[in-house]
Amino acid sequence: MTKIYARKDRKIIRNKLRQNMTKSETVFWKYAKRKNLGYLFRRQYSIGKYIVDFYCPALKLIIEIDGITHLDEDVYNNDVIRQKYLENLGHKILRFKSEEILLNLHAVLENLSIYLKEREKQLQTSASPLPSLRRSGTSS
């Protein structure tokens, strides 16, 4: 089975991205690290061939902070392909504009806090227990 999370072949790139985070990523990370939002988040985390800005493993939640480059048509088209791949793995992606983080962080964190609770409920209700292995009419 091929490993898709935190692949070693992406480690150098992840480390470079962590050392060169944008201002909005740095501001967001200040609040996301050390479970400040109630969940463990990882920054610049690789999933398959992609590196996401922030990842919460417990909720299978990806947070992307999009700067102005994401307005470019080619970048946008790549984002669509990337998002489909990640969603097919069961992840949910939330996108925030860089300006939202820098100009209205309080509202972003408030909305995110509400969403984190909703996502936890979604995952709890979708996790169905395995059916009983006991056959009817037999005792164990």
Q: How confident is the model at residue 70 (pLDDT cuts 50, 70, 90)?
A: confident
Looking at residue 55, its pLDDT comes to 98
Does residue 32 have a pLDDT over 80?
Answer: yes
- Cα–Cα distance between 28 and 42 in angstroms, integer? 12
- Cα–Cα distance between 108 and 94 in angstroms, integer? 11
Query: Are 56 and 35 in contact, with CB atoms under 8 Å apart?
Result: no
Does residue 4 have a pLDDT over 70?
Answer: yes
| DSSP β-bridge partners for residue 5 | 47
Looking at residue 140, its pLDDT comes to 45
Detail the DSSP E strand segments found in 57-123. 61-66, 92-97
Higher pLDDT, 2 or 47: 47
Q: What is the tens place of the pLDDT at every residue in 6-21?
A: 888 999 999 999 999 9
Q: How many CB atoms lie within 10 A of CB 18?
A: 14
Higher pLDDT, 108 or 133: 108
Q: How confident is the model at residue 118 (pLDDT cuts 50, 70, 90)?
A: very high
Question: Structural domains in the chain?
Answer: 8-124 (3.40.960.10)
**For 116-128, what is the mean pLDDT?**
88
pTM of the predicted model as reported, rounded to 2 decimal places: 0.85
